[in-house]
Structure 1
Amino acid sequence: MTIAVAYRPDEFGRAALDWAVAQSKTSGEKIVLINIGRTEPRLDTGFARGNHVQSLEEQLRSQGVEYEIRQSVGENVADAVLFEAEQCGASAVVMGIRRRSPVGKILMGSVAQQILLDASVPVVAVKP
């Protein structure tokens, strides 16, 4: 089986990845790290680039877990994460969450909320 991690290069993505690594060490499941950039990845702070991706690979290798990193670009991050999770046969999706005001949710939507509502597998939401 596989643990899909909805990853951003920040403390929330790190919390999700840390949880997945601990789970993988216990269960032996492969980790598929999913990082989605919006239209222009060079300007998207949520898209991991260059040295950050290399650092992730080194960390995962040193942890001794089987992993794969998938990166793509899409307008709807939640749909893209769910698509990649389905493609890799994920048994669960892990994501870091942050507190948002009700107004913030209305104005900007919520990737986490959409993943929670639309995922066909269990979703684990972790906080840093």
Structure 2
Amino acid sequence: MIVIGFTADQFGQAALEHGIAEARLRGTGVLVVNATAGDAYTDSTFASPDRARDVQDRLTTSGVPFEWVQPVGVDAATELLNAMERADAELLVIGVKHRNPVGKLLLGSVSQQVLLECPKPVLAVKPDA
């Protein structure tokens, strides 16, 4: 299974597309995780019901078996790392933002944590230019 860390932006879309491609190559399914701590009135990375429906439609048309989860009140990095503890989890796919030279020293907190702590391979992707 390919675990995809989805965010409702171009970076999450890149992760979704690369995750689907990896699942096809490996003949497996995907688990798409769109998590939020829920500690703010709005979280721009958490998919609205309409956006979630669009993602699920994309997954359905891809033909890849999938699970879609949207845990609320959780730390996104911890949720992704927990998903990677599943015996069938092979690869974690996350989207990353382009950073300036100083920003490259510090990735986003979720990206940095999963890259450093995930015991299995992590594929960090960015959207096409």
- What TM-score range do you get, normalising by the shorter chain? 0.7 to 0.9
Structure 2 equivalent of residue 85 of structure 1: 84
Which residue number in structure 1 is paired with residue 65 of structure 2? 66
Deviates more, 1:118-127 or 1:97-106: 97-106
SS at match of 1:48: coil
The TM-score normalised by the length of structure 1 is: 0.86
Query: How far 1:104 sits from its partner (Å)?
Result: 8.9
Runs of 4+ in 1 over 4 A off after TM superposition: 103-106
Please name the residue that 1:5 is paired with. 4
Moved more, 58-67 or 78-87: 78-87
Percent identical among aligned pairs is: 32
Kept in 1, the 8 Å contact 2:2–2:91? The answer is yes
The verdict on how the C-alpha distance between 1:42 and 1:3 changes in structure 2, with shifts beyond 3 A counting, is: farther
Residue 99 of structure 1 deviates from its aligned partner by 2.3
Structure 2 counterpart of 1:12, one-letter code: F
User: What's the secondary structure of 1:22's corresponding residue?
Assistant: helix
Residue of structure 1 in register with 2:124 after alignment? 125
On the 8 A contact 2:36/2:75 being kept in 1, the answer is no
Q: Does the CA-based 8 Å contact 1:74-1:80 persist in structure 2?
A: no
Residues 76-104 of structure 1, C-alpha deviations (whole Å, 9 max, x = no match): 32112111232473111000101235369
Q: Is the 8 A contact 1:36 1:47 kept in 2?
A: yes
- The alignment partner of 1:120 has SS state of coil
Structure 2, unmatched stretches of 5+, are: none
Q: Give the TM-score, by structure 2 length.
A: 0.85
What are structure 1's unaligned runs of at least 5 residues?
none
Give the secondary structure class of the aligned counterpart of 1:13: helix
Superposed CA RMSD: 2.2
In structure 1, the residue matched to 2:49 is: 50
> Superposition pairs for residues 83-122 of structure 1, below 5 Å?
83-87=82-86, 89-101=88-100, 102=102, 110-122=109-121
